Amino acid sequence: MTYCLGIITQEGLVMAADSRTNAGVDNVSTYKKLFDFSLPGDRVVVVCTSGNLSLTQSVISHLEQDLKNQASITLHSLTSMYDLAHYVGQTLRKIHQEHAEWLRKDNVDFSGNLLLGGQIRDEGPQLFLIYNQGNFIHATVETPFLQIGETKYGKPILDRTVSFNTPLNSAAKCALLSLDSTMKSNISVGPPINMVMYRKDSFEIRHRLRLPAGDPYLAKVGQEWAASLRKAFDQMPDLEWEYTN
């Protein structure tokens, strides 16, 4: 399993991903799921992946090869985030066309979703969720976050604390706590955690974080959040029962 999320605010963009991949509980590995394709000064482009590893790795490899081969259409040549989302979706479809039939024969789940976030000159920061079918949606002022993978455990905290007006630092904190909640409830989501925070119009990612398993800061965040939550819980009044006798 996987959990990745992106948050877009008036100040910029946060993206975060775990690194645990499993093919059954007896086959657990670590793979990075957050990829930085930025061209500092010109554009910021970050991709997060969830789903079948051979599918998502192939997509990332295709994106990299197109850049290396200086293809006519690449993450650096297109001039809008919308076009980038379309190109990543088309790349995903290409991999499906090549492999999906073979995997269907053995009922292998060959599906994946991607997040694409960033900013290109003359546009504001944008965040897209690209579906397994290659179509996509983008985050908006009303719904400023998008998630892929194991999305439910980490959603309540986002629902309660994040809006488009949230300060960027708080959005980043919330992303980490959302990941922390998910890791606590689903063992197939795990460290290292990779995060980036991007400040609008800087066209360069200046804040990165990689928190490996056992990292003291990650442990501290988890403990402090547990303690804060516990305190908040204790301060809530007891229920007002309707006594029946």
What's the min distance (Å) between Cβ of 220 and its own copies? 9
Q: Which residues contact 222 (CB under 8 A, 6 or more apart)?
A: 180, 184
Contact flag: residue 177 with its own copies (CB under 8 A): yes
Residue count at the site for its own copies (CB under 8 A)? 51
The vertex-147 CA angle with 7 and 154, nearest 5°, equals: 90
User: Looking at 80, 90, 137, 152, which residue binds its own copies (CB under 8 A)?
Assistant: 152
Q: Round to whole Å and give the CA distance between 68 and 64.
A: 6
Quick one: which of 93, 94, 138, 155 contacts its own copies (CB under 8 A)? Answer: 155
Q: Shortest distance, CB of residue 68 to its own copies, whole angstroms?
A: 23
In the bound state with its own copies, the residue whose beta carbon lies nearer, of 36 and 83, is: 36
CA-CA distance, 230 to 210, in Å (whole number)?
A: 27
Which of these ranges, 78-86, 117-125, 140-148, 206-214, lies near its own copies under the rule CB under 8 A? Answer: 206-214
- Asked if 243 is part of the footprint of its own copies (rule: CB under 8 A), the reply reads yes
**Residue 5: DSSP 8-state:** E
* Positions in 216-235 near its own copies (CB under 8 A): 217, 221, 224-226, 228-235
In the numeric block, which tokens belong to residue 195? 């995060």
Residues 6+ apart with CB under 8 A from 156: 181
Q: Which is nearer to its own copies, 64 or 215 (CB)?
A: 215
Which range touches its own copies (CB under 8 A), out of 57-65, 81-89, 100-108, 201-209? 201-209
Contact residue for its own copies among 201, 208, 212, 219 (CB under 8 A): 208
- C-alpha 28/C-alpha 61 separation (Å) is 22
Nearest to 41 by CA among 119, 100, 127, 128: 119
Residue 141 within binding range of its own copies, rule CB under 8 A? no
Task: Note the residue count of the chain.
Answer: 245
C-beta closer to its own copies: residue 74 or 119: 119
Query: Measured from the CB of residue 215, what is the shortest distance to its own copies in angstroms?
Result: 11
Report CA-CA distances (Å) from 58 to 18, 91, 212.
Answer: 19, 9, 25
**Cα distance between residue 213 and residue 89, in whole Å:** 32
* CB contact at 8 A, 172 and 207: yes
Work out whether 242 is an interface residue with its own copies (CB under 8 A): yes
Binding residues vs its own copies (CB under 8 A): 152-157, 159-161, 169-170, 172-174, 176-177, 181, 184-185, 195, 197, 204-210, 217, 221, 224-226, 228-245
